[in-house]
Amino acid sequence: MNRSYEKTFSVEGGNFDNAGMASIEIKKILKDLQISDDVVRKAAIAVYESELNIISYARNGHITLYVTDDAVNVDVRDEGPGIEDIELAMKPGYSTATEQIRQMGFGAGMGLYNIKTCSDRFEISSTVGEGTHLSIKINRNGQ
């Protein structure tokens, strides 16, 4: 993979005041790199949902953006409780959000589903008690 751009963003669990900061910055970076609007939109949604999952459930995490000639790749790793049942967590509407998170307007259970929908390739792995890893790829050529 010939990377033309790479940057990692740290995300602090529980810090809702900074929710969306990484996705806003990544959107700006991709626009500056003259990535198509459709790819920028998909990447911004996938990163925002990933970022909110880290803030909502994990102690901390990192989101790394890799841009290549062919794709926008996003690697998300968190240190958190992990996901016990990935298949169930992928179902639209399934949520383990606390009442506090729901009262803030988050936790609708669409995060992982939205990430997968915006991705051309989506892989998820999780270890209970350790954390979760997402690998997201959005093709730049629309295929």
pLDDT at 107: 81
Q: Average pLDDT for residues 19-36, to the nearest whole number?
A: 95
What is the extent of the structural domain holding 101? 3-139
Cα–Cα separations (whole angstroms), residue 45 to 1, 16, 39, 98, 122: 23, 17, 10, 22, 14
Do 11 and 61 meet the contact criterion of CB atoms below 8 Å apart?
Answer: yes
pLDDT category, 3, cuts 50, 70, 90? low
Q: Residue 63: beta bridge partners? A: 9, 76
Q: Please, where are the H alpha helices in 6-137?
A: 21-32, 37-57, 86-89, 99-103, 111-118
Q: Residue 81 — φ and ψ, nearest 5°?
A: -75, -15
Quote the CA–CA distance of 119 and 101 in Å, as a whole number.
Answer: 25
Q: Average pLDDT for residues 130-138, to the nearest whole number?
A: 98
What CATH code is carried by the domain that includes residue 65?
3.30.565.10
Degrees, nearest 5: CA angle 135-78-13? 135
Closest by CA to 13, choosing from 45, 53, 48, 49, is 53
Total domains present in the chain? 1
Is the predicted pLDDT of residue 15 greater than 60, yes or no? yes
The pLDDT tens digits for 61-119 are 999 999 999 999 999 999 999 999 999 999 988 888 888 888 888 888 889 999 999 99
pLDDT at 99: 87
Cα–Cα separations (whole angstroms), residue 64 to 12, 44, 87, 104: 14, 13, 24, 26
Closest by CA to 26, choosing from 57, 79, 55, 62, is 62
Do 20 and 69 meet the contact criterion of CB atoms below 8 Å apart?
Answer: no
Quote the CA–CA distance of 127 and 141 in Å, as a whole number.
Answer: 34
